[in-house]
A and B are shown apart, each in its own frame.
Chain A
Amino acid sequence: MSTNATPKEIGAIDFGLMNPEEYRDMSATKIITADTYDDDGYPIDMGLMDPRLGVIDPGLECKTCGQHSGSCNGHFGHIELAAPVIHVGFTKLIRRLLRGTCRECSRLLLDEHERDEFAERLQRARDLDDDVNDVTKAAIRQARKADRCPYCGEEQYDVQHEKPTTYYEVQDVLAAEYPQLIAEAMQPDEEEDRPATSPQELADATDIELSRINDILGGEFRPREESREAIERALDVDLSEEDLNKLMPSDIRDWFEAIPDEDVEVLGINAERSRPEWMILTVLPVPPVTARPSITLDNGQRSEDDLTHKLVDIIRINQRFMENREAGAPQLIIEDLWELLQYHVTTFMDNEISGTPPARHRSGRPLKTLSQRLKGKEGRFRGSLSGKRVNFSARTVISPDPTLSLNEVGVPERVAREMTQTMNVNEQNIEEARQYVRNGSEAHPGANRVIRPDGKVMKILDQAKEELAERIEPGWQVQRHLSDGDIVIFNRQPSLHRMSIMAHEVVVMPYKTFRLNTTVCPPYNADFDGDEMNMHALQNEEARAEARVLMRVQEQILSPRFGENIIGAIQDHVSGTYLLTHDDPEMGGLPRFNETQALDLLRATGVDTLPDDDGTDEQGRPYWTGRTIFSELLPSALDLEFTSSTGDRVAIDDGALVEGTIDEDAVGAFGGEIVDTIVKQYSETRARVFINEVASLAMRAIMHFGFSIGIDDESISDAAEAQIDESMENAYERVQELIDTYENDDLESLPGRTVDETLEMKIMQTLGKARDSAGDIADEHFDDDNPAVIMAESGARGSMLNLTQMAACVGQQAVRGERINRGYEDRTLSHFKPGDLSAEAHGFVEDSYRSGLTPREFFFHAMGGREGLVDTAVRTSKSGYLQRRLINALSELETQYDGTVRDTSDNIVQFEFGEDNTSPVKVSSSDDNEIDVDEIADRVLAAEFEDEGEEFAGAQATNLSESADDRMDRDRPSSPIDVPEVGDD
């Protein structure tokens, strides 16, 4: 925006038709010649490149407004069309008007009573925000029913529309020899085996009086449409002829000019702003040259815009039309030229009309005309306005960094040097600013540009940086590099929910990827198999403040979707806390750690002193249990009790884990109880610290124990193998029994099922049980310290079903919820006998993934697997579209200060937000652990007035890397940022 422009608020936008007079008034010049430039390369006056239409060449002055290119937006010109043409954008409305108004007096074909009624309905539809089109369409439908005009009595004909822009009046005319034709049809016909029809029979069949029939036969009476149809139906002949009378655009214009304003209003058109005859163009606006700039090619040749080409065509035909008319050319030629003019004006506006060949460039490429500029993904709306590309953004591959806080993002130095933040220099920061400038634009943290108070922008060049630094005074601006602690917006597509875009604090790092803490993978749905993410550097203080307060990752721990935390421990974190806190008598009870080990576990957390030991070992050395160490991370007054999904009771008393194993249900993303409770009862900051520390502790713990998985972890003993084989054998027998019963017609069908369906269901059931029992046998065999079991138990990754499939039996493969039934005639593969109903012939995979599948099993497995793949592919595209529709429908709803949810036109959608005025993230997630507001208030007050006591979480380091960094002094409140000096190398 230029500096002198005043921002204005748009009060309203009116859509309507444009008066041709207005086109002429706003026109800078009339365009009469199709030529663009003369031999010397100067634009021709009153040509398509007339200098009054604006300037594109820098240095030239606009002849209309006197400004130079860049400040002059260009000016419209106009072409006087030799004959009126139809505007393609309004063909449907033109058709409706032609059908609904009188061909003689142009009045709407509704009597006064009907007209008032529709006018009233229209007003009501507007008040109720209903679709106005429903009413106007009904009005036209009603008007079309009239045979004759209720005002002038003129007979009305149907109007046919031939796409895109031709209209015909259909006049049914009686052939002159109509009586003879009927008489002929009444004669018997041997060939067609038709008996004779007497006038009496005809009268009976058509319900017309006999005398009338005789009159018709005698040619004394011309039957009306109804009786004619009846006669023709009775005789099974078609005698009427249609006469198509083409309506020229000039006819239509005259017709529309006579429609009274009141009648137009009933059709939902504001006659003051949009007279219907304006839909027939008599004058064509010529877009300014700035909207169709010509390009000079390397060889000096000019290449014109597609719109200019199209305008050239229009002017040429327009001229030929005028010349021919003046010369008194025959009507046929005039009509051809008229059609050609219509074609060019049509394609000028829309070159993708069905039924019309698109106008093409010499090379054969279809021209990109007005509507093509606007439409579609790359069009002006979706491409240039909604999908605008922005500055201060970066995109690269992401990779994990467990040493970062979940609030942080690692930004490559190269990105940081390109992104800038504007510093307003004042007395306090002038030294800092100078140091940035002294560091230059090559080194980090430096600066790229300085802006003088007069607005002049100066690049910081390596040679001049020292002098420039000295010249900087308060009031200047320095565009310094992005550096540690700055806030940026981070995003991963598809941005399906609020947590897809969050604010992070910058940590500048070497190498070329964005680094993020693994705990923020769930909200972004990110992994590191090549995912890329976008970063946006914020450019004003307001945006930065807003991002920090509202968008920072820690503010998004709770998901508004289900009201519980979406950020928490994942995968190895969960395995780690499980190993650390699991009490398994077979594995020697709770894990114990000596002093060194305990300190090592806690070294990446903010805990720097060990609690009292839990006892001493045989040698008299103190030890700490995993639960004690985990408890160090909990807020000291936390009381919590819940039952995890494994049925394990977890109890936390006064900040100490006294019972239970910490698994996914306790600390995991997607509703880990402890995380959820800490956010709701303490603060986002405390929860952030907790999640960060749990992740670090878990990583140290899992490394302490060692954790790996290999193919042998899924192998089972020969005894178990034999047991599984036996149970499989049993299942096969039972299936065979079912098949035998079925084949003897002894199988009783289940209620509402056919016998065939019953058999299928019973077989599926039997085989399902077989797989489950195989799984149970395998499960029995696996030790509790089996890594796959630990992961499934703790919720870290995988399920017991996965383990069953790996170790015991993959089970029945299904396509569309049924056993596999497709392939050959009456059998799935050519290896089977027709009608074979056995398990192996219909996709039961008896083997396990570890033992390997037979070729037949492999093929069936691929069939089932394919369905899964197709399903996910279809689901993502379907749900994506659904999501888009839903978001677009809901995007403008807003909760007002009076608590109501309203749309943009103030319609109430909900009287209270969510009908309960409650934010889902502020609600307790379980009945067992209600939020105790009084208790929270007491604690906050106590913390406020107490000097000692628990350290308030907010006073801790903002992020982990800072606490690991010696720049950060825990006792010192946050200090102004020191800018390190950077060498010149």
Chain B
Amino acid sequence: MVEVSQHTLVPEHRLVDDDEIDALLAEYDISRTDLPKIKRTDPALPDEAATGDVVRIERDSRTTDRAVVHRLVIE
């Protein structure tokens, strides 16, 4: 089977540790559920991602060098 996450067009999805999440939530003054979502079944996610985790997605951007997005993993 094709490993989607290895494709050049799929940006890096990295699981974020709790400290980083806390910092992120504090920075934007939000709770976890205010984050954009990503389905657990999304093939781009690392295998160990579980519901409730937060992933950090780093995309190449045409205007800025990279665009960072955090998403909450949901069912």
Contact B63 A908 (CB under 8 A): no
Contact A898 B28 (CB under 8 A): yes
Q: Which residues of B contact A111 (CB under 8 A)?
A: none
Contact A908 B35 (CB under 8 A): yes
Q: Which residues of B contact A907 (CB under 8 A)?
A: 33-36
Of A128, A900, A908, A917, which contacts B64 at CB under 8 A?
Answer: A917
Which residues of A902-942 are within 8 A (CB) of B?
902, 906-912, 914-918, 923
For the complex, give the distance between the alpha carbons of A907 and B29 in Å: 11
A127 to chain B, nearest CB (A): 5
Contact B67 A916 (CB under 8 A): yes
Of B33, B63, B68, which contacts A128 at CB under 8 A?
Answer: B33
**B13 on interface, CB distance cutoff 8 Å:** no
Contact A915 B59 (CB under 8 A): yes
Q: Which residues of B contact A923 (CB under 8 A)?
A: 63
Contact B37 A128 (CB under 8 A): yes
Q: Which residues of A contact B64 (CB under 8 A)?
A: 915-918
**A9 on interface, CB distance cutoff 8 Å:** no
Q: Which residues of B contact A912 (CB under 8 A)?
A: 67
Task: Knowing that A908-B30, A908-B34, A918-B64 touch, tell me 13 more A-B residue pairs with CB under 8 angstroms.
Answer: A128-B33, A898-B28, A907-B36, A908-B28, A909-B36, A910-B69, A911-B68, A912-B67, A915-B64, A915-B67, A915-B69, A916-B64, A916-B67
A924 to chain B, nearest CB (A): 11
**B16 on interface, CB distance cutoff 8 Å:** no
Minimum CB distance partner of B72 in chain A = A128
Minimum CB distance partner of A909 in chain B = B36
- Chain B 15-42 interface mask (CB, 8 Å, partner A; 1/0): 0000000000000111001111100000
For the complex, give the distance between the alpha carbons of A898 and B27 in Å: 9
Residue of A127, A900, A908, A923 contacting most chain B CB atoms (<10 Å): A908
Q: Which residues of A contact B67 (CB under 8 A)?
A: 912, 915-916
**A618 on interface, CB distance cutoff 8 Å:** no
Q: Which residues of A contact B50 (CB under 8 A)?
A: none
**A129 on interface, CB distance cutoff 8 Å:** yes
B→A interface (CB under 8 Å):
28-30, 33-37, 59, 61-64, 67-70, 74
How many inter-chain residue pairs (CB < 8 Å) link A and B? 42
For the complex, give the distance between the alpha carbons of A911 and B67 in Å: 9
Main DSSP-derived SS at the A contact region:
loop
Of B37, B61, B62, B69, which contacts A911 at CB under 8 A?
Answer: B69
A907 to chain B, nearest CB (A): 5
**Can you report 20 residue pairs joining A to B where beta carbons are below 8 Å apart?**
A128-B74, A898-B29, A900-B28, A902-B34, A906-B30, A906-B34, A907-B33, A907-B35, A907-B36, A908-B30, A911-B70, A915-B59, A915-B61, A915-B67, A916-B61, A916-B62, A916-B63, A916-B64, A916-B67, A923-B63
For the complex, give the distance between the alpha carbons of A907 and B70 in Å: 12
For the complex, give the distance between the alpha carbons of A916 and B63 in Å: 6
Contact A918 B37 (CB under 8 A): no
For the complex, give the distance between the alpha carbons of A357 and B68 in Å: 59
Q: Which residues of B contact A128 (CB under 8 A)?
A: 33, 37, 74
A526 to chain B, nearest CB (A): 33
Contact A908 B36 (CB under 8 A): yes
Minimum CB distance partner of A923 in chain B = B63
B48 to chain A, nearest CB (A): 21
Q: Which residues of B contact A902 (CB under 8 A)?
A: 34
Q: Which residues of A contact B63 (CB under 8 A)?
A: 914, 916, 918, 923
A911 to chain B, nearest CB (A): 6
Q: Which residues of A contact B74 (CB under 8 A)?
A: 128
For the complex, give the distance between the alpha carbons of A917 and B64 in Å: 9
Minimum CB distance partner of A896 in chain B = B28
Q: Which residues of B contact A917 (CB under 8 A)?
A: 64
B1 to chain A, nearest CB (A): 26
A118 to chain B, nearest CB (A): 15
Q: Which residues of B contact A916 (CB under 8 A)?
A: 61-64, 67
For the complex, give the distance between the alpha carbons of A906 and B29 in Å: 10
- Chain A 126-147 interface mask (CB, 8 Å, partner B; 1/0): 0111000000000000000000
For the complex, give the distance between the alpha carbons of A917 and B67 in Å: 10
Q: Which residues of A contact B70 (CB under 8 A)?
A: 911
For the complex, give the distance between the alpha carbons of A902 and B30 in Å: 11
B18 to chain A, nearest CB (A): 19
Contact A127 B33 (CB under 8 A): yes
For the complex, give the distance between the alpha carbons of A381 and B30 in Å: 34
For the complex, give the distance between the alpha carbons of A75 and B74 in Å: 49
Q: Which residues of A contact B34 (CB under 8 A)?
A: 902, 906-908
B57 to chain A, nearest CB (A): 10
Minimum CB distance partner of A906 in chain B = B34
B15 to chain A, nearest CB (A): 18
Minimum CB distance partner of B69 in chain A = A911
Minimum CB distance partner of B65 in chain A = A916
For the complex, give the distance between the alpha carbons of A915 and B61 in Å: 8
For the complex, give the distance between the alpha carbons of A912 and B36 in Å: 13
Q: Which residues of B contact A898 (CB under 8 A)?
A: 28-29
Residue of B34, B35, B70 contacting most chain A CB atoms (<10 Å): B34
For the complex, give the distance between the alpha carbons of A969 and B63 in Å: 46
Minimum CB distance partner of A128 in chain B = B33
Q: Which residues of B contact A900 (CB under 8 A)?
A: 28
In the A-B complex, list the 4 residue pairs whose CB atoms are closest, starting with the nearest. A915-B67, A916-B63, A916-B64, A127-B33
Minimum CB distance partner of A898 in chain B = B28
Minimum CB distance partner of B52 in chain A = A124
Minimum CB distance partner of A900 in chain B = B28
Minimum CB distance partner of B37 in chain A = A128
B58 to chain A, nearest CB (A): 11
A910 to chain B, nearest CB (A): 8
B45 to chain A, nearest CB (A): 17
For the complex, give the distance between the alpha carbons of A918 and B64 in Å: 9
For the complex, give the distance between the alpha carbons of A914 and B67 in Å: 9
For the complex, give the distance between the alpha carbons of A918 and B65 in Å: 13
Q: Which residues of B contact A909 (CB under 8 A)?
A: 36
A940 to chain B, nearest CB (A): 25
For the complex, give the distance between the alpha carbons of A699 and B33 in Å: 60
Minimum CB distance partner of A917 in chain B = B64
For the complex, give the distance between the alpha carbons of A623 and B63 in Å: 47
B16 to chain A, nearest CB (A): 13
For the complex, give the distance between the alpha carbons of A916 and B61 in Å: 8
Minimum CB distance partner of A915 in chain B = B67
Residue of A900, A907, A911, A917 contacting most chain B CB atoms (<10 Å): A911
B11 to chain A, nearest CB (A): 11
Which residues of A325-348 are within 8 A (CB) of B?
none
Q: Which residues of A contact B69 (CB under 8 A)?
A: 910-911, 915
